[in-house]
Amino acid sequence: MNANSGKIIRVFTIILAVIVSVLVIYVLYINKSKFYNPETVRYSRITINEKNDINEIISSINDSRTKDRFVSEIKKVNNLNNLDNESVYGKTLLIPVINN
C-alpha cells in the first residue's frame, strides 16, 4: 500500500506541474502586448500654427494602434479634451516620440 501511495503522489505532482506550466504559458500569451508595446522615448515641443497642422502630425503616424496611443498621449500630457486645429491653434504642445 505504501508503494501505491508513492506512485499516486508522484503522478499527482507531475499532473499539477503540467497544469501550472500550461496556465503560466497561457497568461504570458494573453499579456504579450504589455511586453511588446511601443514606448514613449521622449517628448518634443511643437507650436501649432499655419505651418504646423495637428492633423498632418497625427496622419504621419502609420500604425493605427500607435496612432491611437499617440493621440491619447497628446491629450493626456497637454490636458486637452478634443484635438482639432481650432482648439490648439497658437499653442505649444508636447508631442510624444514613440519608439517601436
Question: For 6-54, how does the pLDDT look when each residue is reduced to its tens digit (9 = 90+)?
Answer: 899 999 999 999 999 999 999 998 887 777 766 667 888 888 888 878 8
**What pLDDT shows up at residue 1?**
57
| Domain spans in the chain, listed from the N-terminal domain onward | 2-34, 38-99
Contact between 83 and 54 under an 8 Å Cβ cutoff? The reply is yes
Distances (CA, A) of 13 to 2, 4, 21, 26, 39: 17, 14, 12, 20, 41
**What pLDDT shows up at residue 31?**
82
Q: Could you give the residue ranges of the DSSP H alpha helices within 1-100?
A: 2-30, 32-35, 54-59, 64-78, 85-88
Q: Is the predicted pLDDT of residue 85 greater than 80, yes or no?
A: no
pTM: 0.57
CA–chain centroid gap for 72, Å, is 12
**Residue 67 CB-half CA count within 13 A:** 11
SS3 label, residue 96: strand
What is the DSSP-derived secondary structure letter of residue 89? T
- Between strands 39-47 and 92-99, the pairing is antiparallel
